[in-house]
Chain A
């Protein structure tokens, strides 16, 4: 058996087993076979990772098809113009109850609304009207109040903008604009 091992296996330094250190006698691993099996197992694991990525892509496709099949967002009354003072904010959910958003009155005639989830890790952003920005306290991200574009911190995508309309003194949300 040991003769067979010597013939089949090559030690890393190519010397016979007899002159190898004691620990190699104690753990007589077939070096040649072990190397092949380890790499093959690693390739198998990488193929599993590959399958996970492909599944993720299919999941994105499924979400996209579901989004496409959904009905357009219905206009929703948010508040009366007179109820929101200049420089103040109003929280609401749009288009579903799971989409927190925030409405800000920047000046007498300008209303802006964005989704409140930070585009980094979905923490709630806080409006800071005097500094003209939205602030994310989790990682100190900042978004420009007028455009929703990220200006500081880890976020890379702008906040989704909620489209607004003012009719008869009432502010309506009419849709959501996703942006890259």
Chain B
């Protein structure tokens, strides 16, 4: 590895086994890997729960609609679209996590 690829970055060392004076590979990410994994798993879990809520919402709304109950149609649609917006926002955040951070001076 070239010297230019090595940096001394205290942020990357935090929470790892490496010492401060030890050169680390520059990952160019906003968080160290173990933090990104935790965030990703949390987002995955949250998205799963929201999708399950949407599934329940859709079956309940359809059942009510087919039974002639119109009161839940609009609230169900609004809630489902809100869940979709939240999911899309979380996905966008996930991509943002993977983007390289601003360069760090060594």
Residue numbers of A with Cβ under 8 A of B are 3-4, 7-8, 32, 35-36, 39-40, 42-44, 46-47, 49-51, 53-54, 56-58, 60-61, 63-64, 68, 119, 156-157, 160, 177-180
Residue contact A57 to B80, C-beta cutoff 8 Å: yes
CA distance A172 to B84 in the complex (A): 47
Top 3 nearest A-B pairs (CB, nearest first) are A178-B68, A180-B67, A53-B54
- Interface flag for B50 (CB, 8 Å): yes
Residue contact B87 to A46, C-beta cutoff 8 Å: yes
- Interface flag for B101 (CB, 8 Å): no
Residue contact B87 to A57, C-beta cutoff 8 Å: no
Shortest B66–chain A CB gap in Å is 7
Shortest B10–chain A CB gap in Å is 18
Residue contact B68 to A177, C-beta cutoff 8 Å: yes
Known: A36-B36, A54-B54, A60-B77. A180 touches B63 (CB 8 A): yes
CA distance A32 to B37 in the complex (A): 10
| A180 proximity list for chain B (CB < 8 A) | 63-64, 67-69
Interface size on B, residues (CB 8 A): 43
Shortest A174–chain B CB gap in Å is 16
Shortest A31–chain B CB gap in Å is 11
Residue contact B98 to A36, C-beta cutoff 8 Å: yes
CA distance A11 to B55 in the complex (A): 37
Residue contact B41 to A54, C-beta cutoff 8 Å: no
12 intermolecular pairs with C-beta atoms under 8 Å apart: A35-B37, A40-B95, A46-B51, A47-B90, A50-B87, A53-B57, A57-B81, A119-B66, A156-B63, A177-B68, A179-B68, A180-B69
Give me 9 other A-B pairs in contact (C-beta within 8 A), A36-B36, A54-B54, A178-B66 excluded.
Answer: A32-B33, A40-B94, A46-B48, A53-B57, A53-B83, A61-B74, A180-B63, A180-B64, A180-B69
